[in-house]
Amino acid sequence: MAELAEAAHAALEHGAEAQTVQEYITHHLSYLTYGKHVDGSWGLAHTPEEAVNMGFWSIHVDTLGWSVFIGAAFLLFFRYVGKRATVDRPSGMQNFVEMIFEFVDARVAEGFNGKNPLVAPLALTIFVWIILMNTMDLVPVDWITGLATLVGEHGFGLEHMSFKIVPTTDVNITMGMSLSVFALIIYYSIKMKGLGGFLSELAFHPFGKWMLPFNLIIEVPTLFAKPISLGLRLFGNLYAGELLFLLIASMLGIFQLPAHFIWAVFHLLVIPLQAFVFMMLTIVYLNAAHETPDH
């Protein structure tokens, strides 16, 4: 382990000497991309330009892998605690998990007026999963990247291999989550109100059937703005936070530690806040999807 740490440190020092500030930031904001090369072969991209040329069907292996790993770890941990839960002598882990359950359940009770057993588990999953993915932003920016560079050079022939560990700084992850919520909104809107009721909400509200064109101009963009704002808000806040960490690391040199500490303390507020906002908006949107008009 000591030899591996020394090798990673040497790789970081070599990278710092060989890269400018712009190259350093670009490298850390790039993804480990797998897709189809211009010559028709499939594999990992060696440069950001190759990644762009792979097009829409390329996969960000790093952020996808980390999001799945974090989600699986969260589910296994909660299952482990649930299997060992007791009424007489609850453990500290059980109390912690129950506190999260009670917090989310209270938010669902406040914001959701319908009856749907899916909403509370969905809200819990969203809240915990996003917090865990956001928390990866507190890992020092060069630790995992340095190890990835070392592995990439010796194992895959990729010099300065990109490897991001914060899934919520990838718009594909955040928009994937928001579009999943949007699909549930459409599904329950049609299920609870019928297709005619759902379309009538878009066409006849808020000004009545005689103002149909104006209603559509208002309601249709509002509907599609929900997933876009939901995904981009989470992505923008975490991406900006990561970018500031990188600016501090690349420009302050040995003086970066105090600045990193100050920004990390502030970031401790951003991490749960963004998860809370995503969860609450999901609850509110699903509540609106379940509401049926009185007329």
Residues marked as catalytic: 229, 233, 237
Question: 185 is written with which tokens?
Answer: 């909104």
State the Rg of the chain over Cα: 23
Q: What single-letter DSSP state applies at residue 294?
A: -
Name residue 213's amino acid. Answer: P
Tell me how far apart the alpha carbons of residues 207 and 142 are, in angstroms, rounded to a whole number: 56
Burial label, 270 (beta-carbon count in 10 A; 0-12, 13-18, 19+): middle
Tell me how far apart the alpha carbons of residues 84 and 109 are, in angstroms, rounded to a whole number: 27
- What sign has the CA pseudo-torsion 272, 275, 278, 280? negative
Partnered with residue 34 across adjacent β-strands are 44, 59
CA distances from residue 4 to 7, 152, 186 in whole angstroms, order as listed: 5, 14, 50
Tell me how far apart the alpha carbons of residues 92 and 144 are, in angstroms, rounded to a whole number: 30
- What sign has the CA pseudo-torsion 238, 239, 245, 248? negative
Counting every residue written for the chain, the total comes to: 295
Tell me how far apart the alpha carbons of residues 70 and 60 are, in angstroms, rounded to a whole number: 16
278 Cβ partners below 8 Å, 6+ apart?
A: 126, 127, 130, 177, 230, 233, 234
